Amino acid sequence: MQWNELIRDVTAISRGPISAENAISEITITGIEYDSRRVGARSVFVAMRGGTTDGNLYIDTAIRQGAAGIVTDSPEAFAQLAADDPKTPRLLVEHGRPALAQLASAFFEHPERKLRATGVTGTNGKTTTAFLIESLLNAAARSSILVGTIEYHVAGEVRPSAHTTPESRDLFELMADGANRGATELVMEVSSHALDQGRVTGIGFDVAVFTNLTRDHLDYHGTMEQYFAAKRLLFDGTKYPFPRVAVLNAGDPYFPALAQAAAKASSQVVTYGVGIHADWRADDVRLTPAGAEFSLASPFGSTRIKSGLAGEVNVLNLLAALAAANARDVPFDQLANAIPTLKPVPGRFQPVDAGQPFTAIVDYAHTDDALRNLTALAHQLIAGTQGRVITLFGCGGDRDRTKRPKMGQAAGEGSDFVVVTSDNPRSEDPEAIIAEILPGLAATGTRYIVEADRTRAIALALTEATPGDVVLLAGKGHEKEQILRRGTIFFDDAEVALSALRALGYGGGR
């Protein structure tokens, strides 16, 4: 692909001249890059301004490394390039990220046209819902691409996940690879950051799912109103094409506003909920340690469901997935038959079993709402017994500080005993983070201890447990590392817990 062909559909403010001297029209472009460190001979560098850095500072580096053309969102950088290196083809755009998406789409031969996309957004439940949607599509013999927090799936191949929603260049490459392998479906978690920053530009979502909205990411968005406004972008047609079908949680406080926005944009609104009026509804829900049973009602049929996914929150996630897969033309009977085959998602209410007489669970819950859901589920497991709920958690550093006392309060109100520890402190002092957690926890009157070292804290939580208790190791879930001021170390809550259980004299495995 040559320069003129590549930039044909890019919305530009100004274009640098192409002369016979540089003969760019005869050069085959080898890649599109937004990271100057990845620029190679004959690739195009997209220099864009970001929240923490400005790619325009690295234009000279990209040219030294062989960039065949520069796309920039800085008028100053564009003018400087024209003065210093007039032979290098250049393009000035208003915003770098939309241009990156347009370029990537063209370079990777428009994989979005070969796929039907389902996007899942919300504070909690995105990962589980996306996994379930993909599983239901696969059960209907659809080949898929999954893009999410835990991992990526590309037509059956599992790959590590770098970001919940990657930059558009990487996303289009992933989509192209999957489409070339026969994938026809794209299922992805769509974060509020990605929506706000334009990382999903160029992808027309056929189905969009909203799980819920609770307090999170206010270090980035500032207010709940701005956080909701970012989520709404997936549905309202103002920044992205509106979805054909909007699948919405009818029990969430933000549902009315979101339903109104989706309907105004001409999407078909499909609702789901537990024990409330909704298109896809669960009634007579019976929760057990092994999962859940409920009566499923939908516009396409009704049946009694037995699911291996524990807790009411997973009933909601399953309803969302069923509605979304049905919107992607999977018949009701096929969906119902597939439910018994669905498996829990790694790091989401994941049991750690070494033969101990109590339950140990690893979960990703890292907001106050998620902690409340998690402890409520634990109480469902011990209902009618003398068992206790023991919760271990911490809060991430360099993130929204206002949620720290709220998480302390949520843990205290939902637990019989709490162990406060580190999560990913990043550049912050773990003790300082814990100090901001404790006022909310102390106000509940629940007994607690503090141990900043997460390995020792996990051992303390498990040592505290007696037969019939439930120990919740919350916050990190599937993560395999801990980010500290001194650097990143390998850390797997499930592995650490298993080692601690063995040290306590229990055997067996997960």
- 35: domain CATH number is 3.40.1390.10
CA-CA-CA-CA dihedral for 348, 354, 356, 359, to nearest 10 = 0
The predicted pLDDT at position 204 comes to 95
Residue 243 maps to a domain: yes
Residue 461 and residue 430 in contact, taking contact as beta carbons nearer than 8 Å: no
Within 8 A by CB and 6+ apart from 185, the residues are 115, 116, 117, 118, 134, 137, 142, 143, 144, 145, 328
Residue 471 maps to a domain: yes
- Do 125 and 96 lie in one domain? The reply is no
Token look-up 């919107």 returns 327
Residue 226 maps to a domain: yes
The predicted pLDDT at position 509 comes to 47
Residue 443 maps to a domain: yes
- Do 143 and 244 lie in one domain? The reply is yes
The predicted pLDDT at position 37 comes to 94
- Do 330 and 377 lie in one domain? The reply is no
- Do 144 and 275 lie in one domain? The reply is yes
- Do 39 and 177 lie in one domain? The reply is no
The predicted pLDDT at position 26 comes to 63
- Of 107, 125, 147, the one marking the end of a domain is 107
- Do 52 and 121 lie in one domain? The reply is no
Quickly count helices (H) and strands (E) in the chain: 17, 24
- Containing domain of residue 496, as a range? 350-503
Gyration radius of the chain's alpha carbons: 25
The predicted pLDDT at position 419 comes to 98
DSSP one-letter code for 419: E
- Of 308, 341, 374, the one marking the end of a domain is 341
Instruction: Give the total number of structural domains in the chain.
Output: 3
The predicted pLDDT at position 510 comes to 45
The predicted pLDDT at position 289 comes to 67
- Do 335 and 372 lie in one domain? The reply is no
pLDDT tens sequence for the chain (510 residues) = 889 889 988 988 998 865 444 444 567 899 999 999 999 999 999 999 876 789 999 999 999 999 999 999 999 999 999 999 888 899 999 999 999 999 999 999 999 999 999 999 998 899 999 999 999 999 999 999 999 888 999 999 999 887 767 899 999 999 999 999 999 999 999 999 899 988 899 999 999 999 999 877 777 778 999 999 999 999 999 999 999 999 999 999 999 999 999 999 999 999 999 999 999 999 999 987 678 999 999 999 999 999 988 888 899 999 999 999 999 999 999 999 999 999 888 888 888 999 999 999 999 999 898 899 899 989 988 888 999 999 999 999 998 899 999 999 999 999 999 999 999 999 999 999 999 999 999 999 999 999 999 999 999 999 999 999 999 999 999 899 999 999 999 999 999 999 999 999 998 544
The predicted pLDDT at position 20 comes to 42
Residue 470 and residue 481 in contact, taking contact as beta carbons nearer than 8 Å: no
The predicted pLDDT at position 383 comes to 86
Query: Which residue from 103, 100, 102, 90 is spatially nearest to 13, judged by alpha carbons?
Result: 90
Residue 508 maps to a domain: no
Q: What's the CA gap between 191 and 149, in Å, rounded? A: 10
Token look-up 């799980």 returns 211
Q: What's the CA gap between 435 and 37, in Å, rounded? A: 40
Query: Which residue from 368, 365, 328 is spatially nearest to 347, judged by alpha carbons?
Result: 365
Residue 175 maps to a domain: yes
Output the domain CATH number for residue 193: 3.40.1190.10
Residue 509 maps to a domain: no
DSSP one-letter code for 140: T
